[in-house]
Amino acid sequence: MQKIDSDQRLRELYDTGQGYIYNDFEGGHQTASSRESNKLHRATCEECDPRRSKHAMTVNTQGQKLFFANMSEAFKWLMTNRAGNWSKCLRCNP
């Protein structure tokens, strides 16, 4: 797992097209919206690239952005740290 700390890094991950990006929008808080807001994407999802979607994440939007090299790494982290409090993006279907 790597924390994505710049928009340049976010663009590199999008352009490389490998792995998964998790938008930890509401972090560990559980609210009525947190499961829906804490979203796992494929790195290629347009919601990870502000050049393609004006609604895309940037490092300045709420919550940390995390990169996982593969789905098993992502799943392990999410089950340990955000169990029942995250969801998959329906657009990119990771």
Interacting residues with Zn ion (CB under 5 A) = 41, 45, 47, 89, 91-92
Q: Which of 69, 68, 65, 75 is nearest to 27 (CA)?
A: 65
As measured in angstroms, the least distance from the Cβ of 28 to Zn ion is 21
Question: Cβ(20)–Cβ(68) under 8 Å?
Answer: yes
As measured in angstroms, the least distance from the Cβ of 37 to Zn ion is 13
Nearer to Zn ion among residue 41 and residue 85 (C-beta): 41
Nearer to Zn ion among residue 7 and residue 46 (C-beta): 46
Nearer to Zn ion among residue 51 and residue 91 (C-beta): 91
Burial 42-56 (b: 16+ CB within 10 A, else e): bbbbbbbbbeeeeeb
